[in-house]
Homo-oligomer: A and B are copies of this chain.
């Protein structure tokens, strides 16, 4: 966020900070430096700034990044200013005064749309394996195995709490939603299967704690 007016800058930063990490620059110079160094998801640029205008900042940004949403904020409501904003690669042009509520919504719109585009799911890594929970794909560099739904759910749950002893009942409630004798036996069956699938990597172990539960160990 770039805003030279300190009271408005503070107000915006404060309003957004509940949901986002905000970096606030007070001039274009600092803004461009920060942009170069850091990694951001959205830019909020005041148009009228001491040395460099928001439009100029946008131009610089667009030279290296065509994707990041750029929202202009300005006191000037004239048509030609707005158009200029869009011409410089802006995604929205918000006229002062505006409510923080509306600003939040407009920001949310663009974050939602840019997030969806990077659906490149890398999955989670478990030892030498990589597991993509959505695709239920457990893979090594060698091969790829498609798990069933329950297998996937269980593995995901265990992997999300690795190196921690988890009680049987807790696993049962989390993955099956119920805890009785037969469900417990089912769990044992599935643990057995997972052990087999994960046997490539000796650093992975599903250790039983007798009468308590399991420990998904990844060294």
Interface residues of A (CB under 8 A from B): 67, 69, 79, 82-83, 86-87, 91-92, 99, 101-102, 105-106, 108-110, 113-117, 119, 134-136, 148-149, 164-165, 209-212, 215
Given contacts A83-B99, A115-B116, 17 further A-B contacts (CB under 8 A): A69-B113, A82-B105, A83-B101, A86-B102, A86-B106, A86-B109, A87-B105, A92-B92, A92-B109, A119-B164, A134-B164, A135-B215, A136-B209, A148-B210, A149-B209, A149-B210, A149-B211
Looking across the interface, which residue of chain B has its beta carbon closest to that of A83? B101
Are the CB atoms of A99 and B79 closer together than 8 Å? yes
| In the complex, residue of chain B having the shortest beta-carbon distance to the beta carbon of A121 | B164
Of listed A69, A113, A215, residue having the most chain B CB within 10 A: A113
Closest approach, in angstroms, between the C-beta of A79 and any C-beta of chain B? 5
Determine whether the beta carbon of B83 is less than 8 Å from that of A102. yes
Closest CB in chain B relative to A33 CB, distance in Å: 27
Given A86-B102, A91-B109, is A117 in contact with B116 using a C-beta cutoff of 8 Å? no
A117's closest neighbor in chain B, by CB? B115
- Chain B residues whose C-beta falls within 8 Å of the C-beta of A115 in the assembled complex: 113, 116-117
> What is the bound-complex CA distance between A86 and B91, given in angstroms?
16
Q: What are 17 residue pairs bridging A and B, where the CB atoms are less than 8 Å apart in the complex? A: A79-B99, A79-B101, A83-B105, A86-B106, A86-B109, A91-B109, A91-B113, A92-B109, A113-B114, A115-B116, A115-B117, A119-B164, A136-B165, A149-B209, A149-B210, A149-B211, A149-B212
